[in-house]
Structure 1
Amino acid sequence: MIAAPIPANDRQRLDALLSYKVLDTEPEKDFDDITRLASEICGAPMSVITLLDENRQWFKSKIGLDLNESDRESSFCGHAITTPDRTFIVNDALDDERFHDNPHVSVENGVRSYAGVPLVNPDGFALGVLCVIDTQPKKLEEFQIKALEKLANQVSKLLELRKNNFKLIESHNALAQRYKDLEQFSHVVSHDIKSPLNNIMQLSEFFNDMYGDKFDDNGRQMIGYIRQSATELKKLVDGILEHYKYDTLDVTQREKIRLREFSEYIVNLLNVKGDFEFVYPDAKSRFWSNKMALGQILYNLIANAIKYNDKAKGIIEIRCESTEDDVVIFVKDNGPGIPESQFHKIFEIFGTLGTTDRSGNKGTGIGLCTVNKLVQKLGARIEVVSEIGHGSTFKVFLKK
């Protein structure tokens, strides 16, 4: 017997095989269907999908065999993987010097003929073989060999699909853990950070009310700084919690949106102060979308249009247009505008332009990042056009 040779790249081949996490797994119908079909097409009593481990060949699927594995050294498949680019055929094992005294051949009803197609992965490694075996010498017809090769190709694709599904499961589990960690983070932030911040804000106000008249201007200014810093930090914490809570939002539920009524409702929530004029969409503007996600998108866009408007009279227009593929929602203002070079920055988390709003406060750079996240969850896209000194228009393209 000539032992199955070990390929020069066997270490890398084994690493590739282990990455599929398929060795010693339970039988699977998709693989069993292929071995059964290979047996029927080739008229062979035995058909096997075998994977070559370091010292053994293990059978992922088998027809006509009682074994789950055998040693690699005496295997026919060990020879087959050394020529991954072609089918390995033995018509009569007793007449082949490599196998005539092989223990799988010399026994009663032993192997007499063999045909195996290497299972080659995208990186070119032969992970195993799809083979058919007979206890009688046999020469397969050309169509049978071609069919066996096509079936082997399907086995390779199944292995890739199985590997990718496993990766998806791992990714899903990692995301589930991330969401769990975020929930814990939210709990810590809400209770262990916001509570001390609220205390600092309340104590600074109490301190100023009780003892403010005993301080000079510098002292009162210091107390004001403490209160302002605590307020800004609380606003940042609230923004971060708001941003991450939408990671788990289910946007598959859709309902009819009457954009005029919806926009009026959102503007009322904002409790707008100052001189603003709102131009609402036509009452006929109706479409289907996820109300919670779209509501948060519009809330942030309209709130920004109000906060950062630098005109004596702010004008904010909300309208809707329909194209062949999309419903396009516009939120337009007459504010200071945004430099085109900064368009990419405004959608990044903590990305700000360094400007202050109408109340003199700086933004956190979270609102538009949240908008962008929700737009992506809806399978939509957002664009901005702007003219310095004349305002900006945000356009949300929702798929119909």
Structure 2
Amino acid sequence: MKENEDLLRTKALQELDIMYTPPEKMFDDITSLAAFICNTPIALISLVDNKNQFFKSHYGLDVDQTPIDQSFCAHAIKNDEDIFIVDDATIDNRFKENPLVLSNPNIVYYAGVTLSNDEGIKIGTLCVIDKSKRALNKDQIKALEHLSNQVMHLLKLRESNIALNSYKEKLDYSYKRSSEFSAMAAHDLKSPINGIKSFIDMLNDKYNNLWDDNDEQYLKFIFENIKRMNKLIIGLLDYSKSDIDTINKEHIDLEKLVKKVFELLTQDLCITNAKLITSSLPTIISSKIAISTLFENLIGNALKFQKEGCSPEVKVTCQESDFKWTLSVEDNGIGIDAEYFDIIFNPFKRLHNQSEFSGSGLGLSTCRKIVEGLKGELKVSSVKNGGTIFVIELPKS
């Protein structure tokens, strides 16, 4: 066998990461089917590197590898044809002294279809073996060829799954490190801000009787900016974590969750005249952290973006279909011009200044990241001064 062919084949097998791996049912099903179709006691998926032939699946045979110098498959992959047949190994000069012919499994008949990758490199065979003379008919040979194609499809699929799992592990690790960094950064950023606030509080207590109206106004601006910075840091932390919050799934009673979120937000915003309407919200399976953050942002916006003197009213409903949940959060607030529908989900995009409505500009972008992480879709409809409806479509788990 040519040296460069050995190297190419060995490299191809290394890329597949298949040699000397444990049995897998999807391959065992193929050898079982091949033996049944061809009516042989043995069927193998045989792969050949530069040292051994390894049986990824071995139906009717107890061993999982043999030395390459005993390999029928090594002869098959050198053959110009896609199928290699030995009618009687006991009288074939190439095999009659082979230990696999002289002793267990006492090979007499061999038929192997080569396994080739997309580059045309032959890496092994799907073969059937009998201990007595026989002959496969055209239909059996055709079936063996089809099954060999399926072996290659499975090998490619397996390779893709391994690469995908490896990428997922790296991504999970990256998310974890990112989350840890975000939490650390938020803590480190909040500490000096809290320190500044504490010292200003001390100065205010000490010199309160000396401040004039301008000084009082300056202090008010300082405290408002400190509060805004704290909210921005919390918003950044939520935004950075919104990707990984969608991983862990559990049963969520939406009715209880929405009412709890509404209660906490109205207390935090000191709103006493707000009204919540729900319509028999179901229990769903999803990430509780993600769903909680989603409703905290949407209900929070519904309560905050209100016309002066108006009593906030929030309506949360749900519709169920065969494959998805359709949740909606409707308010009677100031609404959004249609021209802004495409940009309100961008990070830090604000339609109002801080003096009108406070916020970090990260709430809706966090919501979109969460919904996309849950393989869903977030939509908005609104009329200026006529309220807003956010619709969340989530696939059922």
TM band (smaller chain) = 0.7 to 0.9
Query: In the alignment, is the contact (CA less than 8 A) between 1:259 and 1:286 conserved in 2?
Result: no
SS of 2:341's equivalent in the other structure is: helix
Unmatched runs of 5 consecutive residues or more in structure 2: none
Shift of 1:384: 0.5
Change (3 A) 1:15 1:212: farther
Which residue in the other structure is 2:19 paired with? 23
CA distance in structure 1 between the partners assigned to 2:187 and 2:231 by the alignment = 15
CA distance in structure 1 between the partners assigned to 2:97 and 2:213 by the alignment = 100
Unmatched runs of 5 consecutive residues or more in structure 1: none
Shift of 1:385: 1.5
CA distance in structure 1 between the partners assigned to 2:364 and 2:252 by the alignment = 23
CA distance in structure 2 between the partners assigned to 1:323 and 1:40 by the alignment = 47
1:156-305 paired onto structure 2 within 5 Å: 156-210=152-206, 227-245=223-241, 247-248=244-245, 250-255=248-253, 257=255, 265=263, 268-273=266-271, 278=275, 280-281=276-277, 284-289=279-284, 293-305=290-302
Which of 115, 123, 132 in structure 2 is aligned with 1:119? 115
Amino acid at match of 1:201: K
Percent identity at matched positions? 31
Shift of 1:192: 2.8
Which residue in the other structure is 1:364 paired with? 360
Query: In the alignment, is the contact (CA less than 8 A) between 1:301 and 1:331 conserved in 2?
Result: no
Amino acid at match of 2:328: I
SS of 1:286's equivalent in the other structure is: coil
CA distance in structure 2 between the partners assigned to 1:324 and 1:36 by the alignment = 41
Amino acid at match of 1:288: T
Shift of 1:308: 3.6
CA distance in structure 1 between the partners assigned to 2:47 and 2:293 by the alignment = 53
Shift of 1:233: 3.1
1:337 lines up with 2:336 in the alignment: yes
CA distance in structure 2 between the partners assigned to 1:65 and 1:224 by the alignment = 82
CA distance in structure 1 between the partners assigned to 2:335 and 2:216 by the alignment = 34
Shift of 1:147: 3.5
CA distance in structure 1 between the partners assigned to 2:80 and 2:221 by the alignment = 73
1:347 lines up with 2:345 in the alignment: yes
Shift of 1:368: 1.4
Change (3 A) 1:158 1:132: same
CA distance in structure 2 between the partners assigned to 1:399 and 1:38 by the alignment = 40
CA distance in structure 1 between the partners assigned to 2:393 and 2:132 by the alignment = 67
SS of 1:346's equivalent in the other structure is: coil
Change (3 A) 1:55 1:334: same
Change (3 A) 1:68 1:251: closer
1:65-144 paired onto structure 2 within 5 Å: 66=63, 68-71=65-68, 75-78=71-74, 80-81=76-77, 86-92=82-88, 100=94, 104=98, 108=102, 113-121=109-117, 126-134=122-130, 138-144=134-140
SS of 1:372's equivalent in the other structure is: helix
Task: Out of 265-274 and 212-221, give the one that drifted further.
Answer: 212-221
Query: In the alignment, is the contact (CA less than 8 A) between 1:200 and 1:227 conserved in 2?
Result: no
CA distance in structure 2 between the partners assigned to 1:102 and 1:228 by the alignment = 92
CA distance in structure 2 between the partners assigned to 1:31 and 1:398 by the alignment = 36
Task: Out of 49-58 and 81-90, give the one that drifted further.
Answer: 81-90
Shift of 1:356: 1.8
Shift of 1:47: 3.3
Query: In the alignment, is the contact (CA less than 8 A) between 1:91 and 1:139 conserved in 2?
Result: yes
Shift of 1:346: 2.7
Query: In the alignment, is the contact (CA less than 8 A) between 2:28 and 2:57 conserved in 1?
Result: yes
CA distance in structure 1 between the partners assigned to 2:329 and 2:191 by the alignment = 39
Shift of 1:49: 1.4
Change (3 A) 1:108 1:127: closer
Change (3 A) 1:162 1:315: same
SS of 1:26's equivalent in the other structure is: coil
